[in-house]
Chains A and B, each alone.
Chain A
Amino acid sequence: MSDEIADLVIIGSGPAGMAAACEARSAGLSVVVLDEQQAIGGQIYRRVETAPSSLLEILGKDYTAGQKLIAEFRSSGARCIAGATVWNVTTEGVVNYVTDGHADEISGRFVLLASGAMERPFPIQGWTLPGVMGAGAGQIMLKGAGAVPAEPVILAGCGPLLYLLAWQYIRAGVKIAAVVDTTKRSALFSALRHFVGAVKGWRDLLKGIKLIAAIRRHGVPIYSGATDLAITGIVRAEGIDFKIAGKPQHVAASLVLLHQGVVPNTQLSWSTGAKHRWDDQQLCWQPETDANGRLGDSVIYVAGDSRGIVGANASAVQGRLAALAMARQLGHADTAARVRRLLASLQRYTHVRPFLDTLYRPQQKNRIPDDDVLVCRCEEVTAGQIRKYVELGCKGPNQTKAFGRCGMGPCQGRLCGLTVTEVIAQKREVDPSEVGYYRIRPPIKPILLGTFAE
């Protein structure tokens, strides 16, 4: 084990982590960045450094834009450790990680969690069948491997990433059997409450509108306002059933990509014992931080989508603001003017968020499923079983363990946690904040026993 000490250890090399590293380096801090992926860039800029030009062409401007930040990062003098999976962070700034089967440790005067987002679980009938994946997963195969579906594919759900992937697939020549859009017809009206913000964020809105127009222009069938989604098939996905205005519909395909937004990847912040609050607008847990992203009075900060979904540009700005806050504490910088400029751009990038959150609020039934739907994929626990636990006195996710193995499989509750919270809250008729979440303990990633053998 090494006992290296840096001013700042950053977990995650997405926009938030890279921007924080650049800013901290400008202020004179020593910086080490860890990421479990081999290539830097995070989710949005995955492999942008080495992507062939044909792929850049398909993925579009917002992807290629990442090259600028990566270039700044590469010349910043931050040390980058790739393929490093962090499994423990202490409130004193010790970070434990594994690279290629070796356990290692590094300490930071400060630690920044910039672990990003994951796709929101989409628990519907049949979602565990081979041939059902997240739309983000489909995009990861495109960015990471240049791989696209060979046969017609169905994209179902809602949210910017779903339409973006449809547009990217069209450019890549993929045949899309249907886009099954779960955005409610009435959602636009409630979203217009946030009209002012939406107008200020018109650039982002316009992008979305252009995407959907392009998808239509290419003759992809779009089913709007779809409800009652269920994947069909016994051992493989064969298609999707749904209803439009109450009328049953079916589309066949061997690959169905589901998506209903992204949620913060909070495993690390939970594991440090930090407080989290339920965000009713984004329907997810967010770590409680101060304005700069600091967790309580610890040395840990959080920035980017792992703090609350804000998108790539705002994530980068949050990373910079957090870095400046740390630099101030280390006595390194006069930052006031810089902070003012960054705060202004943060505002500009987040204007459109409340509008998007309302418009693409995932349907209740796709978050809090019927009794027969599997919620915990690992241990195969259904929503009905969880409701039974509640009848027997189970008050929150932590206690489901006393009744069954829900949330105790290898994914450590990542893919069922939000659903379990909401199912219990609905059954108990209380707010999710009262129900709580699993108590997450390190190791937050599985470690093979041999890792510590030396």
Chain B
Amino acid sequence: MTISFEGKNLEVPAGISVASALLAGGARDFRSSIVGNAPRAPYCMMGVCFECLLEIDGVPARQSCLITVRDGMKIKQQLGAPELEDINAGVNHE
């Protein structure tokens, strides 16, 4: 199937995660860090680290290591603070 990352098309096998597909396709930088604007890329591949956040089909801050590729998926880098921050900021800690 075909997915696009930052406007460039990639042929990828079905059934694998978006993060795996992009890394195997040679992508290196997925997002930029919130404070230092430094490039970041997947670290854990199992939903723990949130370094793999991407904008997928218009929805920001998706954990691309947990999402399976779909034909025609449009994927962009997640730059700066993800929106999910606004939802979760501080709720899990006192």
Contact = CB atoms under 8 A, between A and B. Distances in A.
Interface in A357-390: 377-380
A448 B48 CA distance: 17
B90 interface: yes
Contacts, number: 143
A438 B93 contact: yes
B44 interface: yes
Contacts of B13: 145-146
Contacts of A206: none
Interface in A108-123: 118-119
A411 interface: yes
Nearest to B38: A128
Given A131-B28, A141-B23, A448-B59, A410 B46 contact: no
A442 interface: yes
Interface residues of B, number: 46
Contacts of A128: 33, 38, 40, 43, 51
Interface string A235-256: 1100000000000000000000
A398 B34 contact: no
B90 A408 contact: yes
SS class, residues of chain B in contact with chain A: loop
Contacts of A410: 50, 53, 61, 82, 84-85, 88
Interface residues of A, number: 54
The 10 closest A-B pairs by CB, nearest first: A130-B41, A145-B20, A137-B45, A145-B16, A410-B50, A140-B45, A380-B35, A147-B24, A441-B92, A446-B84
21 contacts: A50-B15, A130-B29, A130-B41, A134-B45, A146-B13, A147-B16, A147-B23, A235-B38, A236-B28, A377-B51, A380-B33, A408-B93, A409-B85, A411-B48, A411-B50, A412-B92, A413-B93, A438-B92, A439-B92, A446-B84, A448-B87
Interface of B: 13, 15-17, 20-21, 23-24, 28-30, 33-36, 38-51, 53, 59, 61, 65-66, 68, 82, 84-85, 87-94
